Amino acid sequence: MTLSLYSDEQYMREALKQARYAFEEEEIPIGAVVVMDRQIIARAYNQTEKLRDVTAHAEMLALTSAANHLGNKYLQECTLYVTVEPCVMCAGATAWAQVKRVVYGASEPKFGFRRHGNLLHPKSELVTGILADESGALMQDFFARKRR
């Protein structure tokens, strides 16, 4: 099913829904959606515990799903929305897939890619801070719950 939406905030709300699924499954609550021509073509959330796979980040799963949907490894006309700043692995994957835009909510000072410079494709646009408070609060709630 595709869903037609029109603003970065609305797409990020869809990514937050995915992050909440991760939270409910006791996965780190990060969600992602891939949009092309104002249609969501892929949705995913972190599943590293469930799949016992360190690469099963929301972004990686969403990029794979989008590529399968399009039948093409290049996502040059797509935007990736992710609730938290991608890690180095995920940023690298967006570069290889030539994602047109990467939009994320909360910054990730420990593991986010930006502490290593710009790892995105040279033609990729980066937008940050969309629903950052909501995305960050979900992460804080998750880790507070883990510490109890």
Rg of the Cα atoms in the chain: 14
Which residue out of 9, 25, 26, 59 is catalytically annotated?
59
Mark whether 59 is an active-site residue: yes
Do the domain assignments include residue 52?
A: yes
Per-residue model confidence as pLDDT tens digits over 39-52: 999 999 999 999 99
Q: Is 121 annotated as a binding residue?
A: no
Which CATH number does the domain housing residue 55 bear? 3.40.140.10
Do the domain assignments include residue 48?
A: yes
Do the domain assignments include residue 1?
A: no
pLDDT in the model for residue 148: 80
The Cα 79–Cα 124 span in angstroms is 9
The distance of Cα 130 from the centroid of its chain, to the nearest Å, equals 12
Range of the domain at 38: 8-147
Do the domain assignments include residue 3?
A: no
H, E, C per residue of the chain: CCCECCCHHHHHHHHHHHHHHHHHCCCCCCEEEEEECCEEEEEEECCHHHHCCCCCCHHHHHHHHHHHHHCCCCCCCEEEEEEECCEHHHHHHHHHHCCCEEEEEECCCCCEHHHHCCCCCCCCEEEECCCHHHHHHHHHHHHHHHHC
pLDDT in the model for residue 114: 94
Do the domain assignments include residue 123?
A: yes
Q: Is 78 annotated as a binding residue?
A: no
Do the domain assignments include residue 108?
A: yes
Segments of the chain with pLDDT less than 50: 1-5
Domains in the chain, number: 1
The Cα 34–Cα 147 span in angstroms is 32
